[in-house]
């Protein structure tokens, strides 16, 4: 069974990962984290980011410690450095002394000078658990000695090479997150069995080649995948970079199993606005949210003979197909304490006229106060809101959780 209960219980206690304001030591993550930055973890046995990772307590990104407080400084896949010199360890304890100075191995070190030999290495791996009946659960996070601190759980269909959905958490402490942190390239890890690199399949050249082949179009046809406009398939994040506080956390969102093909005009349009709105909601109402982001169905377009064909980014030599282009993206946002939730749906198709079938549940956006997306602008994507229970009638893969009312 998918690890829902554990995730929700820990999310409800996510404040425990925020050290309260104190007088001993104060660091501001935008000023006092060196480069490459380490992972800052509480000295406990927690295995989820909501319980294990230290978070700032204000929008300035401030973390305060009492004198004598100790934390773990972790550099997964690398080594901790003091003043640029390796300690030949990937995990050390640091104890607050005063100001921004911490004791490490008996030495007083300004926090800025505690770094990693290279950026902390994240991992994505099968957990051995099942989800959505017979799919496989993948966790994405950091291996810190003998504990794995997971940040994202995805439900993966090996046959179609498609992540059905991802579960992540959105803390109200994202108000103090690092901004403009460099974006790495997406990683395929070992989850895809294609004869071409996933990076190529997502490129405009690669996706045009596959889509045109499926539809029987000329290889250089640009009617579906445009060479210069926003009408192409982007790598659509499930749990987005900006939902995480530290740059090291933001980097671990860049796995293809945390994404699906999404048309760029939609990805950068109403979908992007909705994600910003969700973060603002979390911050302003001080809500710690469980977020399920996924896809439903496979997009179709008529081929040269007028026959509807399902679109994929990969076709194999023996007729196999993988990495489907979804018909819909969705994001279910749930506040476990109040048991309020909402399903936000986006039709993933800029080429076909809108019909009743594009509404898989009844639109209740007129009740929702915190969304600012432009529902009347179809160039930014068809989007709508639904009651979670109504949404489940069409999309039944999510774990069970009780929703009392709409998150308005």
DSSP letter assigned to residue 21: P
Tokens in use for 230?
């926003």
Secondary structure E strands in 99-183: 101-104, 107-110, 114-116, 123-131, 135-144, 147-157, 162-170
Tokens in use for 402?
């009780």
Which residue carries 């800025």 as its tokens?
Answer: 112
Q: Cα–Cα distances in Å, from 290 out to 12, 144, 213?
A: 9, 24, 40
Measured torsion, CA atoms of residues 255, 158, 394, 354, in degrees rounded to the nearest 10: 60
Which residue carries 């996510």 as its tokens?
Answer: 14
- Other C-beta atoms within 10 Å of 109: how many? 18
DSSP 243-263: GSSSHHHHHTT-BGGGEEEEE
Tokens in use for 3?
């690890």
Q: Which residues of 56-83 are buried (b: 16+ CB within 10 A; e: fewer)?
A: bbeeebbbbbeeebebbbbbbebbbbbe
Q: Cβ-count burial of 137 within 10 angstroms (0-12 exposed, 13-18 middle, 19+ buried)?
A: buried
Q: How far apart are CA 20 and CA 18, in angstroms?
A: 6
Q: Which of 32, 57, 151, 237 is catalytic?
A: 237
Q: Cα–Cα distances in Å, from 205 out to 187, 262, 299, 313?
A: 19, 16, 19, 11
Is 237 labeled as catalytic in the residue annotation? yes
Please check if 267 is assigned to a binding site: yes
CB contact set of 21 (below 8 Å; sequence gap of 6+): 57, 62, 64
Active-site residues, by number, are 237
Residues flagged as binding site for Mg(2+): 267
């Amino acid at each position: 069974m998918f690890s829902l209960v554990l995730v929700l219980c820990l999310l409800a206690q996510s404040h425990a990962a925020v050290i309260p304001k104190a007088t001993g030591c104060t660091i501001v993550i935008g000023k006092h984290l060196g480069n490459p930055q380490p992972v800052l973890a509480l000295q406990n046995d927690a295995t989820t980011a909501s319980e294990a990772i230290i978070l700032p307590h204000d929008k300035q990104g401030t973390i305060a410690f009492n004198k004598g407080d100790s934390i773990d400084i972790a550099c997964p896949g690398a080594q901790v450095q003091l003043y640029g010199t390796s300690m030949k360890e990937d995990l050390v304890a640091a104890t607050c002394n005063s100001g921004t100075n911490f004791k490490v191995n008996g030495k007083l070190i300004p926090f800025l000078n505690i770094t990693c030999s290279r950026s902390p290495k994240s991992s994505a791996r099968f957990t051995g658990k099942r989800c959505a009946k017979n799919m496989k659960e993948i966790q994405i996070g950091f291996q810190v000695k003998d504990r794995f601190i997971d940040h994202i759980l995805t439900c993966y269909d090996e046959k179609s090479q498609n992540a059905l959905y991802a579960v992540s958490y959105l803390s109200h402490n994202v108000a103090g997150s690092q901004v403009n942190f460099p974006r790495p390239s997406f990683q395929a890890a070992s989850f895809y069995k294609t004869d071409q690199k996933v990076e190529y399949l997502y490129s405009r050249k690669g996706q045009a080649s596959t889509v045109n082949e499926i539809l029987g179009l000329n290889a250089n046809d640009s009617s579906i995948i445009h060479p210069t406009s926003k009408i192409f398939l982007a790598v659509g994040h499930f749990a987005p970079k900006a939902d995480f506080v530290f740059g090291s956390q933001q980097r671990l969102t860049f796995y293809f199993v945390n994404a699906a093909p999404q048309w760029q005009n939609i990805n950068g349009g109403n979908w992007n606005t909705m994600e910003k709105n969700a973060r603002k909601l979390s911050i302003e109402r001080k809500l710690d949210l469980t977020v399920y982001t996924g896809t439903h169905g496979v997009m179709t377009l008529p081929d040269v003979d007028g026959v509807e064909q399902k679109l994929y980014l990969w076709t194999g030599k023996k007729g196999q197909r993988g990495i489907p282009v979804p018909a819909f993206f969705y994001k279910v946002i749930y506040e476990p304490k109040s048991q309020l939730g909402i399903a936000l749906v986006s039709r993933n198709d800029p080429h076909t006229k809108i019909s009743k079938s594009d509404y898989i549940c009844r639109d209740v956006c007129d009740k929702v106060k915190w969304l600012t997306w432009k529902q009347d602008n179809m160039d930014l994507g068809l989007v709508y809101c639904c009651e979670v229970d109504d949404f489940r009638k069409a999309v039944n893969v999510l774990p069970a959780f009780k929703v009392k009312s709409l998150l308005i």
